[in-house]
Structure 1
Amino acid sequence: MDVDEVLRECGGFGRFQLLLLTLLSLAHLPLPWHFMLHIFLSAVPPHHCRSPPQPTASNLSRDPRPTPDDPGPCRSLPPSPLDPPLNHSALPCTSGWEYDTSQFTATIATEWDVVCERRGLNQAAGTFFFLGVMLGGPIVGYLSDRYGRRRLLLLGCLVTAVFGSMAAVSTGFTMFVIARFLSGLGLTAINITTFTLAVEWTDVRHRAQVGAVCSLAWCVGNMSLALLAFLLRDWRWLQLAVSAPCLLLAAACWWVPESARWLLSVGQTEGARSGLLACARLNHTPPPPPLQELEKMQSPGRAPHPSPLALVRTRQMCRITLCSGMVWLGVALSYYGLSFSVSGLGLGLYLTHFTFAAVEVPGKLLAFLLLERLGRRPTQAGLLLLTATIMGLRCLLTPEQQVPLLVLGVVGKGSAEGAFTTAIFHTTELFPTSLRQSGLGYTSLMGRLAASATPLVMLLDEVWVFLPSLIFISVTLLAAAVSLLLPETRRVPLPQTVGHVEDRWRYTVGTNKAGTNTSWALTQRHIAGTDTGGHQFTAGTDYPTSRGNGGAEATSVTDIALQPLGAGESQTAGSEESE
């Protein structure tokens, strides 16, 4: 018996899992609020140089004198048009700027005058936030495996609430950037632990549906951000509005139980049975097995905390690690590149952001459909190729062509979101159970690295207006090509160890019910049973059947795991059966 069987006996997906998923989905809502907040915090409204206090001073908007050259919002006219030394040349703004407050009461650009020559600081604020998210990936991944998912979830909610609120009352730009950086660390803890807890408390038959609900919670939060930004035009109140609820979420998540899988993996059998007992009571099912049965699920001799260096020690793992990192780089760069350019669609900032957020819903649903019909590799490469094509077509349009820009932007955002969803699912299936959190932490780091670089890449439009788009398209196309180098994981059992990853792609001749040669070899390491976390092959997929040494045909994962194989002996699949 493994943990999945215990969860099925405790109701599989009952009232306990439904309440848990509701709490974790609520904790998932603030993620897009903070991740996409830079669009509204750093908005630069129309501005011009403020008039100096001298009586003879003038600026562009107040000086009626004609001038052959428009100095623009970053320069001012000389005090006198008859001054020969100045020769009517524009001067730098020495008295600050005046801003149009019709759309934004205040932003960080208007608060600290990070415009014109200081425009880079405005974009750097977003970069530092994503640097915090990027560094939080491997740190939180390691800490959650060592100290538990629930503790990191609570800590993430508290850190986000405290430092997010501190950013709202910042007295200087440096304080604001530091507070946003630290809140990014807390958000990573929420992001990783919510999805992990939801999946680990669900039986294998409902994991995909649980992942879909968590993904759709992001869409709901992203759409609500447009409403919050529309109602709160001052950046301080908006920052506070998206940060303070995390304190309430910390109180709600106090009732979230620790993962029974993790508790078993670290030897805390009593704590695991206590959580399983609460699950069984709420689902009105028989109690879980006694402690002696749960202790048998732990595999002796396994390292409790595998080294992350195992990601690159073997050939297959090294290929998966490098290629998946490149895919995440391209997926994140295309996604945030399209998201941060929403103001250029001609539909208004708030309505455009809401439209982009709403189109993520069909994008995610399309990705889930294609993942089961076509497989992981074709879906990933196809959606990335579609995203790059749309970004290229947008470069051919002029700003006056608002309707085509809007249509392409919406479709491109949907395809980019579908590519992001596919990357998350494919990565989870690629890495073995013993290194899955480390692998997700690494790929998350690569994705956030791309997100951190996105605002800086957009600054290159001063060199050439099409240079940012050229970079986005090139990296996306490269990621699409690299995704084809990754193994296909559709209807393939989840690997348990590094050895499974190295051996799982050794195919032998066999036929399934349709008569096609799709069966694969099962070695002794493939069927060695469950690990200390109780992880087992995924249900709902086609499992190859095998025979032991003269034994009867096995048609389930449990039967396969119980076959007494000799050292180095393998099994040839003769047909495919669905569990």
Structure 2
Amino acid sequence: MKFETILEEIGGFGHFQIFILVMMCCPRIVLPLHYLLNNFIAAVPSHHCNIGSMDDGQIFANLTQDQRLTVSVPRGEDGVLRSCEMFAELQFQLLVNGSNSTEMQTVQCQSGWVYDNSTFISTLATEWDLVCDQKSLTKTMSSIFFFGVMIGAIVFGFLSDKYGRKNTLMLSYVMTIVFGFSSAFAKSYTVFAVLRFLTGFGITGIATNSLVLSIEWVDTDHRSFIGVIGSLSWSFGNMLLAGFAVLINDWRTLTMAVTAPLGFAVLTWWWIPESARWLLANGKVKQAQIYLDRCAKFNKRQQASSKLKLETLSNIEINENQDKNYSYLHLFKTPKMRRLSVLTGIVWCGIALTYYGISLNISGFGLSLYLTHFIYAAIEVPAKLTVYFCLNLVGRRMCQAGTLLLTGTCIAINIFLPKGLWYVRSVVAILGKGLSEAAFTTVFLYTTELYPTVVRQNALGYTNFMSRCGVLVAPLILLLEDVWVLLPQIILCSVAITAGLVALLLPETSNITLPETIDHVEKTRMNDVSSRSAAASGVFMETKESQQTESAEVESK
């Protein structure tokens, strides 16, 4: 007997599964609030050198503020004050004849900077003067956070398969709350960087466990629904971040605000069930029976609940060796698992690099920072709904490859579009963002279906690690525009297209039962595909014979 058989009897998609989906919404809303928080807390407002030290106590003191800036700070060709330079000496002649300021001797800012506080009261840049020679540190903060996410993916993947999805989820809640709030009180850049690393480390367990708990409790036919609809929580959280940022323009308060919803998530944790698949795979039959009984009663299948005997559950084909300890090495020990791990690793890395490369670059389209972020988030909703229908219509593999290839195409179009057509570039960029999110939505569900239960969390830990490798370098790639403006876009385009082509090499998983063991992947997945095709052919032949019989009966009448 297989687990899917039991799940069908007690209700593979009912009130119980919807309840789990709703319980997982709150923690998943928090994910984008932290993942993309750097767009706002590390924003760099307009600034210029502090010219207070140039006060000579005579003529300078009698000038207006605009006149003081004119004689103290050079302007660029566009007439905007330069951010990192000031005149070596006061240039009073500029008030009279408007000489060419580019020919006058300048020096780096001597007494700090003055910032425009009309949009942000305080950011990391204004708090610790992360501008000019230090400007790369604002982008580096994203890399530090995602480095924590990357390491956390490996650790929490192991912990989830070793100690269970539910227990590891609580650990993630506690770590994220503690380090998230602590980072808001950091007194230096170094301390803040360490706390953001630890926040990223902790929050990874929420990302992986919330999805797996939802998927492992649902039947085959509704996996795509749970995977896609559940991911709408990310989109809602992403839009919510823009709203938080509009209302809260101090980085410390904003950091606390995006962490606070996890307090409610901790309360809901007590009602979240452990994965029965994981319990059975690890020989915890009695505990599995308790949760399966609860599922049956919740779905009003009490009769099925009474049939769930310990002997029956013990014979479910889950694990060929329940005492065996699985690790990340098992992802590479056998041929098909090794090939699967390499391909999914490349795809995850490509998707993450592309998605965050687009998401972290929300300026340059003629729209405000908040509006651009909100539109980027809002476009994810129709993208996800479209993916839901495409997953069952064209299959997981074609959906995965298609979204990546189209994302790369959108980036390529924007490379050749002139800057003056900012409205066209905005539309193409928004479309590319939606497609990149569609690719991300697909890969979470696809990966969950590709790997067996005994190493599923390890696999998600590994693929999350690979994706964070991509995320880690995404902010650094954006810095390459100082070398060549188009270089970041060319890299993102190439990565998206390469990942799309690699996705075509993965097996299809649509309407196939979740594999339970490594042996299932090595030996039976192809048989499942063959039998599914044979079954479809058999249904077609039976239908055809039935139609012929009905026709004969009609003729005889």
Q: Normalising by structure 1, report the TM-score.
A: 0.84
Tell me: CA distance 1:103–1:244, structure 2 relative to 1, closer, same or farther (3 Å): same
Instruction: Please tell me whether residue 426 in structure 1 is matched to residue 426 in structure 2.
Output: no
Aligned residue in 1 for 2:23: 23
- % identical equivalent positions: 40
Tell me: CA distance 1:2–1:441, structure 2 relative to 1, closer, same or farther (3 Å): same
Question: Contact between 2:353 and 2:470, CA under 8 Å: does it hold in 1?
Answer: yes
Instruction: Please tell me whether residue 133 in structure 1 is matched to residue 149 in structure 2.
Output: yes
State which drifts further: 161-170 or 64-73: 64-73
Q: Distance in 1 between matches of 2:30 and 2:46?
A: 30
* Partner SS state of residue 62, structure 1: helix
Q: Distance in 1 between matches of 2:83 and 2:66?
A: 8
Aligned residue in 2 for 1:272: 288
Alignment of 1:429-508 (within 5 A): 429-503=449-523
Aligned residue in 2 for 1:108: 124
Alignment of 1:492-571 (within 5 A): 492-503=512-523, 521=530, 542=532, 544-545=534-535
Tell me: CA distance 1:501–1:252, structure 2 relative to 1, closer, same or farther (3 Å): closer
Give, in angstroms, the shift of residue 66 of structure 1. 9.2
Aligned residue in 1 for 2:546: none
Give, in angstroms, the shift of residue 206 of structure 1. 2.5
* Partner SS state of residue 271, structure 2: coil
Q: Could you report, residue by residue, the CA deviation over 1:157-186 in whole angstroms, capped at 9, with x for unpaired residues?
A: 111111111111111111111111111122
State which drifts further: 56-65 or 16-25: 56-65
Q: Could you report, residue by residue, the CA deviation over 1:509-562 in whole angstroms, capped at 9, with x for unpaired residues?
A: xxxxxxxxxx9556xxxxxxxxxxxxxxxxxxx4645xxxxxxxxx9xxxxxxx
Question: Contact between 2:85 and 2:108, CA under 8 Å: does it hold in 1?
Answer: yes
Give, in angstroms, the shift of residue 87 of structure 1. 8.0
Q: Could you report, residue by residue, the CA deviation over 1:207-228 in whole angstroms, capped at 9, with x for unpaired residues?
A: 2221122111111111111111
Task: Give the number of aligned pairs.
Answer: 520
Give, in angstroms, the shift of residue 267 of structure 1. 2.0
Q: Distance in 2 between matches of 1:543 and 1:292?
A: 33
Q: Distance in 1 between matches of 2:529 and 2:17?
A: 34
Instruction: Please tell me whether residue 323 in structure 1 is matched to residue 323 in structure 2.
Output: no
State which drifts further: 492-501 or 111-120: 492-501
Aligned residue in 1 for 2:96: none
What amino acid sits opposite 2:309 in the alignment? P
Question: Contact between 1:223 and 1:358, CA under 8 Å: does it hold in 2?
Answer: yes
* Partner SS state of residue 350, structure 2: helix
Structure richer in helix, relative to its length: 2
Alignment of 1:82-93 (within 5 A): 88-93=104-109
Question: Contact between 2:123 and 2:251, CA under 8 Å: does it hold in 1?
Answer: yes
State which drifts further: 329-338 or 481-490: 481-490
What amino acid sits opposite 2:89 in the alignment? P
1:75 pairs with one of 71, 85, 89? 85
Q: Distance in 1 between matches of 2:124 and 2:319?
A: 54
Aligned residue in 2 for 1:64: 70
Instruction: Please tell me whether residue 160 in structure 1 is matched to residue 166 in structure 2.
Output: no
Q: Distance in 1 between matches of 2:366 and 2:328?
A: 47
Question: Contact between 1:45 and 1:101, CA under 8 Å: does it hold in 2?
Answer: yes
What amino acid sits opposite 1:33 in the alignment? L
Q: Could you report, residue by residue, the CA deviation over 1:303-348 in whole angstroms, capped at 9, with x for unpaired residues?
A: 5322322222233322221121111111111111111121222121
* Partner SS state of residue 235, structure 2: helix
* Partner SS state of residue 274, structure 2: coil
Instruction: Please tell me whether residue 293 in structure 1 is matched to residue 303 in structure 2.
Output: no
RMSD over aligned CA atoms reads 2.7
* Partner SS state of residue 342, structure 1: coil
Q: Distance in 2 between matches of 1:144 and 1:10?
A: 25
Question: Contact between 1:164 and 1:240, CA under 8 Å: does it hold in 2?
Answer: yes
Alignment of 1:21-420 (within 5 A): 21-56=21-56, 62-65=68-71, 70=76, 72-81=82-91, 88-286=104-302, 287-288=305-306, 289-297=308-316, 299=319, 301-420=321-440
Give, in angstroms, the shift of residue 7 of structure 1. 3.0
What amino acid sits opposite 2:393 in the alignment? R
What amino acid sits opposite 2:380 in the alignment? E
Give, in angstroms, the shift of residue 120 of structure 1. 1.2
Q: Distance in 1 between matches of 2:212 and 2:173?
A: 16
Question: Contact between 1:48 and 1:60, CA under 8 Å: does it hold in 2?
Answer: no
Q: Normalising by structure 2, report the TM-score.
A: 0.87
Q: Could you report, residue by residue, the CA deviation over 1:422-445 in whole angstroms, capped at 9, with x for unpaired residues?
A: 222222232233332222211111
Q: Distance in 1 between matches of 2:73 and 2:149?
A: 48
What amino acid sits opposite 1:220 in the alignment? F
Tell me: CA distance 1:521–1:411, structure 2 relative to 1, closer, same or farther (3 Å): closer
Tell me: CA distance 1:305–1:177, structure 2 relative to 1, closer, same or farther (3 Å): same
* Partner SS state of residue 76, structure 1: strand
Instruction: Please tell me whether residue 3 in structure 1 is matched to residue 22 in structure 2.
Output: no
What amino acid sits opposite 1:128 in the alignment? I
Question: Contact between 1:543 and 1:577, CA under 8 Å: does it hold in 2?
Answer: no
Question: Contact between 1:363 and 1:418, CA under 8 Å: does it hold in 2?
Answer: yes
Give, in angstroms, the shift of residue 192 of structure 1. 0.9
Q: Distance in 2 between matches of 1:6 and 1:504?
A: 20
Give, in angstroms, the shift of residue 355 of structure 1. 0.9
Aligned residue in 1 for 2:14: 14
Question: Contact between 2:32 and 2:238, CA under 8 Å: does it hold in 1?
Answer: yes
What amino acid sits opposite 2:275 in the alignment? S
Question: Contact between 1:165 and 1:240, CA under 8 Å: does it hold in 2?
Answer: yes
Q: Could you report, residue by residue, the CA deviation over 1:7-62 in whole angstroms, capped at 9, with x for unpaired residues?
A: 33333333332222211112211011111111111111100011243533989983
Give, in angstroms, the shift of residue 2 of structure 1. 3.5
Question: Contact between 1:343 and 1:349, CA under 8 Å: does it hold in 2?
Answer: yes
Q: Distance in 2 between matches of 1:12 and 1:430?
A: 19
Q: Which fold has the larger relative contact order, with Cα–Cα distance below 8 Å and residues 6 or more apart in sequence? A: 2
Aligned residue in 1 for 2:552: none
Q: Distance in 2 between matches of 1:272 and 1:348?
A: 51
